[in-house]
Structure 1
Amino acid sequence: MTAQTACEECDHLIDNAVADDGEAIHCPRCHHHISVVHKAPLFAPIAYASAAIMMLVASLMYSFMSFASAGHSVTMNFAQTVRSLIAYGYNELALLLFVTLVIFPLGFLAIIFYLHGAMILNKKPFAARTCLLMLQHSKHWLMVDVFLIGILVSLVKVMGMADVGFGLSFWAFCLFTILLVKTTIVTDLPWLWQQLVSPAKAVEVNDVQRSAYANDYQLCHYCGHLNHLAESVCPRCHHQTHARKDPNLDRVLAFLIASVVLYIPANVLPIMDTSLLGGSDPATIMGGVILLWQLKSYPVAMVIFIASVMVPLAKMVAIAWLAYSVKSTRNYDPQRQLKLYRLTEFVGRWSMIDVFVVAILAALIRIDGLIVIYPGPATVSFAGVVILTMISAMSFDPRLIWDDSHIKENNRS
Structure 2
Amino acid sequence: MSKETTNEARDLKSNSHYSTACGECDVLIFAQTIEAGEHIRCPRCDHHISALGDEPVQGPIATSIAALFMMFASLSFPYLSFSASGNTASMTFSETIRTLLSFGYDQLALLLFITLVVLPIGFLVIVLYLHTCLLLGVKGVAVGMMLKIVRESKPWLMVDVFLIGVLVALVKVMGMADVEFGLSFWAFCLFTGLFIKTMILFDSHWLWHQFYGECRIYHLPNAQTADEADLVLCHKCGQLNPKENARCDRCLGDISVRFKDSLQRVWALLFASVVLYIPANVLPIMDTSLLGVRDPSTILGGVVLLWQLESYPVAIVIFVASVCVPIAKMLAMAWLAYSVHYVDDYNPHKQIKLYRITEFIGRWSMIDVFVVAILAALIHIDGLVAVYPGPAAVSFAAVVIMTMVAASSFDPRLIWDKTSNRKDVVA
* TM-score category, normalised to shorter length: over 0.9
Q: Sort the Cα spacing of 1:58 and 1:387 in 2 relative to 1 into closer, same or farther, 3 A.
A: same
Runs of 4+ more than 4 Å apart: 407-410
Cα displacement (A) at 1:406: 2.9
2:9 is matched with none
* 2:74 matches 1:74: no
1:182 is matched with 197
Letter of the 2:219 partner, please give it: E
Contact preservation (8 Å) 2:262, 2:411? no
Partners of 2:289 and 2:34 lie apart in 1 by 57
Q: 1:148 aligns with which of 138, 153, 163?
A: 163
Report Cα offsets for 1:254-309 as digits up to 9, x if no partner: 11111111101000000000011111100000000000000011110000000000
2:354 is matched with 340
Contact preservation (8 Å) 2:17, 2:31? no
Of 351-360 and 15-24, deviating more is 15-24
Partners of 1:304 and 1:147 lie apart in 2 by 13
Where does structure 2 lack aligned partners over 5 or more consecutive residues?
A: 1-15
Contact preservation (8 Å) 1:26, 1:35? yes
Q: 2:275 aligns with which of 247, 258, 261?
A: 261
Contact preservation (8 Å) 2:303, 2:319? yes
Partners of 2:85 and 2:31 lie apart in 1 by 65
Q: Sort the Cα spacing of 1:18 and 1:331 in 2 relative to 1 into closer, same or farther, 3 A.
A: farther
Letter of the 2:400 partner, please give it: V
Partners of 2:262 and 2:381 lie apart in 1 by 53
Q: Which runs of structure 2 are paired with 1:267-346 in the superposition (5 Å)?
A: 267-346=281-360
Report Cα offsets for 1:186-234 as digits up to 9, x if no partner: 11101000011221121122424x2111111111111111111111100
1:222 is matched with 236
Letter of the 2:122 partner, please give it: G
User: Per the alignment, in what secondary structure is the counterpart of residue 78 of structure 2?
Assistant: coil
Partners of 1:38 and 1:408 lie apart in 2 by 36
Q: Which runs of structure 2 are paired with 1:11-410 in the superposition (5 Å)?
A: 11-16=26-31, 19-208=34-223, 210-246=224-260, 249-406=263-420
User: Per the alignment, in what secondary structure is the counterpart of residue 406 of structure 1?
Assistant: coil
Letter of the 1:102 partner, please give it: V
Partners of 1:162 and 1:182 lie apart in 2 by 35
Let me know the Cα RMSD of the aligned residues: 1.3
Contact preservation (8 Å) 1:18, 1:34? no
Q: Sort the Cα spacing of 1:334 and 1:287 in 2 relative to 1 into closer, same or farther, 3 A.
A: same
Letter of the 1:347 partner, please give it: I
Partners of 2:118 and 2:406 lie apart in 1 by 23
Report Cα offsets for 1:61-86 as digits up to 9, x if no partner: 00000000000000100111111100
Contact preservation (8 Å) 1:17, 1:200? no
Cα displacement (A) at 1:247: 5.1
Letter of the 1:28 partner, please give it: P
Of 1-10 and 355-364, deviating more is 1-10
Partners of 2:251 and 2:126 lie apart in 1 by 17
Letter of the 2:56 partner, please give it: P
Report Cα offsets for 1:148-205 as digits up to 9, x if no partner: 0000000000001000000000000000000010001011101000011221121122
Cα displacement (A) at 1:19: 2.1
Contact preservation (8 Å) 1:66, 1:364? yes
User: Per the alignment, in what secondary structure is the counterpart of residue 40 of structure 1?
Assistant: coil
User: Per the alignment, in what secondary structure is the counterpart of residue 249 of structure 1?
Assistant: helix
Letter of the 1:32 partner, please give it: H
Contact preservation (8 Å) 2:289, 2:387? yes
Partners of 1:96 and 1:243 lie apart in 2 by 33
Number of residues of Structure 1 aligned to a counterpart in Structure 2: 409
User: Per the alignment, in what secondary structure is the counterpart of residue 255 of structure 2?
Assistant: coil
Of 199-208 and 46-55, deviating more is 199-208
Partners of 2:125 and 2:161 lie apart in 1 by 21
User: Per the alignment, in what secondary structure is the counterpart of residue 397 of structure 1?
Assistant: coil
Contact preservation (8 Å) 1:331, 1:408? no
Cα displacement (A) at 1:16: 3.0
What is the TM-score normalised by the length of structure 2?
0.94
Q: Sort the Cα spacing of 1:373 and 1:188 in 2 relative to 1 into closer, same or farther, 3 A.
A: same
Of 310-319 and 119-128, deviating more is 119-128
Cα displacement (A) at 1:408: 8.2
Where does structure 1 lack aligned partners over 5 or more consecutive residues?
A: none
Partners of 1:322 and 1:272 lie apart in 2 by 34
Letter of the 1:363 partner, please give it: A
Letter of the 2:410 partner, please give it: F
What is the TM-score normalised by the length of structure 1?
0.97
Contact preservation (8 Å) 2:344, 2:418? no
Letter of the 1:156 partner, please give it: V
User: Per the alignment, in what secondary structure is the counterpart of residue 405 of structure 1?
Assistant: coil
Identity of aligned residues (%): 58
Report Cα offsets for 1:297-324 as digits up to 9, x if no partner: 1110000000000000000000000000
Contact preservation (8 Å) 2:332, 2:358? yes
Partners of 1:223 and 1:260 lie apart in 2 by 34
Partners of 2:149 and 2:85 lie apart in 1 by 49
Contact preservation (8 Å) 1:366, 1:373? yes
Partners of 1:363 and 1:31 lie apart in 2 by 44
Partners of 2:190 and 2:209 lie apart in 1 by 31
Letter of the 2:175 partner, please give it: G
